């Protein structure tokens, strides 16, 4: 059900140093770094992400947004998730598309849920 999740950090460098050290004790490591976000997990599978906190908007302040990505069986399922969310009035963050910067075949769509969280549906088999 859950593919990965992420949190926003007030100081990304400090949080990265914290998670680099603490997650290593559990056998996990930094497996992807895209400058504004860092993914941790087993080799090749960043399950937990930390991101730089934006200066304003729903992701800022003491009650920062959470990012949750749900596994989708196909690109069609990603599009169905997106269409259902938009029909319910969800704010569109990113329409369904390939995200090659994450890895080849990463197909996802992002919306904001009614509480301001960044919710994604993702398929790893491409479009």
| CATH number of residue 122's parent domain | 3.10.180.10
pTM: 0.72
Number of domains in the chain: 2
Q: Domain boundary at 32, 58, 84, which?
A: 58
Instruction: Supply the pLDDT for residue 59.
Output: 58
Instruction: Supply the pLDDT for residue 104.
Output: 93
Domain with 88, as residue range(s), is 65-127
| One domain for residues 90 and 52 | no
Instruction: Supply the pLDDT for residue 96.
Output: 97
| One domain for residues 1 and 52 | yes
Phi-psi region of 25 (alpha: psi -120 to 50; beta: other; left: phi over 0): alpha
pLDDT < 50 positions in the chain: none
- Distance set, CA 109 to CA 33, 62, 67, 96, 102 (Å): 20, 26, 12, 4, 13
Instruction: Supply the pLDDT for residue 124.
Output: 93
Q: Domain boundary at 58, 76, 102, which?
A: 58
| One domain for residues 30 and 81 | no
| One domain for residues 79 and 25 | no
Instruction: Supply the pLDDT for residue 65.
Output: 78
């Amino acid at each position: 059900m859950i593919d990965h999740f992420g949190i926003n950090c007030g100081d990304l460098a400090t949080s990265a140093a914290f998670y680099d050290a603490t997650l290593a004790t559990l056998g996990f490591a930094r497996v992807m770094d895209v400058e504004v976000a860092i993914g941790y997990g087993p080799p090749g599978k960043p399950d937990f992400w930390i991101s730089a906190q934006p200066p304003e908007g729903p992701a800022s302040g003491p009650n920062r947004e959470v990012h949750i990505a749900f596994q989708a069986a196909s690109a069609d399922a990603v599009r169905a998730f997106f269409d259902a969310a938009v029909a319910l009035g969800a704010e569109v963050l990113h329409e369904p598309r390939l995200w090659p910067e994450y890895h080849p075949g990463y197909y996802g769509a992002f919306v904001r849920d009614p509480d301001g969280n960044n919710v994604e549906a993702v398929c790893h088999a491409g479009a």
